[in-house]
A and B are shown apart, each in its own frame.
Chain A
Amino acid sequence: AQSVTQLDSQVPVFEEAPVELRCNYSSSVSVYLFWYVQYPNQGLQLLLKYLSGSTLVKGINGFEAEFNKSQTSFHLRKPSVHISDTAEYFCAVRPPDSNQFYFGTGTSLTVIP
Chain B
Amino acid sequence: GAGVSQSPSNKVTEKGKDVELRCDPISGHTALYWYRQRLGQGLEFLIYFQGNSAPDKSGLPSDRFSAERTGESVSTLTIQRTQQEDSAVYLCASSLEASRAYEQYFGPGTRLTVT
A-side residues, CB < 8 A to B, are 4, 6, 32, 36, 42-46, 49, 51, 90, 92, 94, 99-106
Contacts and interface: CB of A to CB of B under 8 A. Distances in A.
A43 B108 contact: yes
Given A100-B56, A100-B58, A101-B33, A45 B42 contact: no
B91 A44 contact: yes
9 smallest CB-CB distances across A and B, nearest first, come from A103-B43, A44-B106, A105-B42, A103-B42, A43-B106, A99-B48, A43-B108, A99-B56, A100-B45
Interface stretch (B11-19, B68-76, B79-87, B96-104): B96-104
A96 to B, nearest CB: 9
Interface of B: 3-4, 33, 35, 40-45, 48, 50, 56, 58-59, 91, 93, 101-109
Contact of A90 (B43, B45, B93): B43
B42 A4 contact: yes
Contact of B40 (A43, A92, A105): A105
A104 B37 CA distance: 11
B42 A104 contact: yes
Given A4-B42, A51-B101, A106-B42, A100 B106 contact: no
Contacts of B3: 43
Given A105-B41, A106-B42, A43 B103 contact: no
